[in-house]
Amino acid sequence: MKKQIQYTADVVGYGKFMDARELLARYRAGDRIFSGLRLLEVELLQVDLSGADFSGSDLRQSRLGRTHFVKSNFTQADLSEALLWGANFTAADCTQVQLRDADLSGAVFVQAQLPQANLIKAILCGVNFQGANLAQAWLIDTDCRPTSDQQTNLRRANLQGANLSYADLSGAQLAQADLRGAKFCRAHLGQSFRPDSLKTDLTEANLEGADLSYADLTGAILRGANLKGADLTGSTLRNTDFTGAILPDGSHP
């Protein structure tokens, strides 16, 4: 423990640069504190860095595909434009993390904490956010379309107050998600034109007070969803399933 405390004091706040070889050597030696580091463009593919602390670190444009970050700390870290396909962030703390323009295809964020995260223009195809906390996160213009083998999973995720304007959520699983006050202005939540395309599932989702203005909800499943006070101005509702839902005026269909 004494060695680890000394190492932390040496690097935190100074933006020390560290390459992949040194980081892995320190991790294997038992160090877990890598906060405040400059790891710009580092390549760490298919390695296990679970439980590590990268809070406040600069990991922009890094290549971290299929790496395990289970229960790691990325609070206020910058992962903008990083390649994170298939990475495992299960139960990780990613509060206020910067993931703008990052490729997260197939990544796992089950039960992860991402409040106020910046995911603007990120690629989220096939990401598993089941049970994750994305309250007040920014997901503007994100791509959440299903991959060839999996859907983007936001089941039971907390997206209260999140901004998903212009996001492509076609085929995403949002059943039982908390979407109160979320912004879906001009978001795409409908089926694509392919006959075999998947429907966006918002079964029992809480959309109370959500902004769905000019959103495309073609063919979306909103069975049992709560839309009380939601703004559906200009929304496309062709073949949308509102069975058992609470409509914006509090009535039932």
DSSP secondary structure string for all residues of 158-198: B-TT-B-TT-B-TT-B-TT-B-TT-B-TT-B-S--SSTTPP
What single-letter DSSP state applies at residue 24? H
Provide the β-strand partners of residue 93.
73, 113
Contact 75, 95 (CB under 8 A): yes
What pLDDT was estimated at residue 195? 63
What pLDDT was estimated at residue 81? 98
Tell me the C-alpha distance between 213 and 253, whole Å.
19
C-alpha closest to that of 49 among 26, 16, 72, 65:
72
Look at the chain and count its residues: 253
What pLDDT was estimated at residue 239? 94
Give phi and psi for 8, each to the nearest 5: -60, -45
Report helix, strand or coil for 21: helix
Tell me the C-alpha distance between 38 and 35, whole Å.
9
Encode the chain (253 residues) as per-residue pLDDT tens digits. 333 323 233 333 447 899 999 999 999 999 999 999 999 899 999 999 999 999 999 999 999 999 999 999 999 999 999 999 999 999 999 999 999 999 999 999 999 999 999 999 999 999 999 999 999 999 999 999 988 778 999 999 999 999 999 999 999 999 999 999 999 999 999 987 666 788 999 999 999 999 999 999 999 999 999 999 999 999 999 999 999 999 999 999 8
Tell me the C-alpha distance between 163 and 166, whole Å.
9
If phi > 0 it is left, if psi is from -120 to 50 it is alpha, else beta; for residue 199 that is beta
Contact 206, 178 (CB under 8 A): yes
Whole-number Cα distances in Å, 125 to 11, 142, 159, 222 = 35, 9, 17, 21
What pLDDT was estimated at residue 194? 66
Encoded tokens for 233: 């101005």
What pLDDT was estimated at residue 221? 97
What pLDDT was estimated at residue 149? 77
Contact 83, 62 (CB under 8 A): yes
